[in-house]
Chain A
Amino acid sequence: AQSVAQPEDQVNVAEGNPLTVKCTYSVSGNPYLFWYVQYPNRGLQFLLKYITGDNLVKGSYGFEAEFNKSQTSFHLKKPSALVSDSALYFCAVRERNNNDMRFGAGTRLTVKP
């Protein structure tokens, strides 16, 4: 069965600095990978996905993520963080023949002015 690990509960960065939120996964076969963001008392908002093709995917709000098959990672990155990026970020994985999308426990990103 597929699983996702987000090793950091909390990431703190200063505004304007680059940010990275880490994600590693475990699946049998090739995965579909996703990043979602959640603001307080809200549902999850889709940021980006990797399905196939180019390992570097670009998404909403200037975020990008790199699929690394050898390291089974899909880290979320942004070159210059904004205070408004402060939120809870979830990595998710689906196996290609499975409709069960598994989420990590989430990483709380705080961007300080």
Chain B
Amino acid sequence: DTGVSQDPRHKITKRGQNVTFRCDPISEHNRLYWYRQTLGQGPEFLTYFQNEAQLEKSRLLSDRFSAERPKGSFSTLEIQRTEQGDSAMYLCASSLFPENYGYTFGSGTRLTVV
């Protein structure tokens, strides 16, 4: 296991469609995080899991967004009824709590809503 994997790398969708992204963290990492990054900005925290439990959600995570980590391994982030404002890079990161303080990021999924 060489790092955090995200799939797909790019997604183009029409406004109003649903999309789902997948993140596979480093296998021994118990924490998994989702961030969103728009052009010219730093990543913004969306939510995080410890094992299968979703422990925190940002106010940025509207009711159209849902994230799961059903078995405490991979995670999915679904966006329903996509809007043009959802266009961004969605980054996943993982860490081993409490030993590690920094996060390992995946390469991200770039979403374009047309």
Contacts and interface: CB of A to CB of B under 8 A. Distances in A.
Nearest to A96: B101
Given A43-B4, A44-B91, A103 B103 contact: no
Contacts of A34: 101-102
Interface string A43-55: 1111001010000
A103 B55 contact: no
A81 B113 CA distance: 38
A1 to B, nearest CB: 11
Interface residues of B, number: 25
A32 B98 CA distance: 13
A93 to B, nearest CB: 11
Nearest to B10: A41
Contact of A102 (B45, B103, B108): B45
Contact of B41 (A41, A43, A106): A106
A94 B101 CA distance: 9
B63 to A, nearest CB: 20
Interface of B: 4, 6, 31, 33, 40-45, 48, 55-56, 58, 91, 93, 101-108, 110
Interface of A: 4, 32, 34, 36, 41-46, 49, 51, 90, 92, 94, 99-106
